[in-house]
Each structure stands twice: as C-alpha cells, then as structure tokens.
Amino acid sequence: MVFVNGKEQTANGKTVEDIINEMNIDKRTIAVELNEEIVSKVDYDSTTLKDGDVLEVVSFVGGG
C-alpha cells in the first residue's frame, strides 16, 4: 500500500505517471512530492512506487 494525498491505496508497482493519469489531472499544473522529495516532471514515467511510499500531488491555484 502507498499513500496518495493522505489516502491509502494499492499502487505498488505503478509509476507516478500512472497515478496522475488515474487522477485525471493535467500534469502541467501540478507539483509532485514522493517521500518528501520533489519529483521532476521528466521522471514521472520512470518513478515506480513501492510499498510504504508517500506521494503528494499538489495543484497550482491562481488568484488575485
């Protein structure tokens, strides 16, 4: 099990890209942190999640 935005889910073996696609999020408007380290966008498809990982996906929000 891994934690994605604080929720436990089965994602062992999936990539960060897989999770983003499942969440139906535009990856141009997010930042991703895996185990308290920022994941570069170019590494989303090669970063594989493993049991116990903590993934945070944060969306940018504009304001004025």
Establish if 49 belongs to a structural domain: yes
pLDDT in tens, 34-54: 999 999 999 999 999 999 999
> Which two tokens mark 41?
């966008």
Establish if 35 belongs to a structural domain: yes
Residue 1 has pLDDT above 70, yes or no: yes
Q: Domain with 43 in it: what CATH number?
A: 3.10.20.30
What range does the domain containing 20 cover? 2-59
Residue 45 main-chain phi, psi, to 5 deg: -80, -10
Per-residue pLDDT, 64: 62
Establish if 64 belongs to a structural domain: no
Collapse the DSSP code of 20 into the 3-class scheme (helix H, G, I; strand E, B; otherwise coil) and give the result: helix
Establish if 20 belongs to a structural domain: yes
Per-residue pLDDT, 61: 75
pLDDT in tens, 6-36: 999 998 889 999 999 999 999 899 999 999 9
Looking at the structure of the chain, the number of domains it has is 1
Give CA separation, 23 vs 35, 63, 64, in Å.
19, 23, 27
Mean pLDDT score of the chain, rounded to an integer? 93
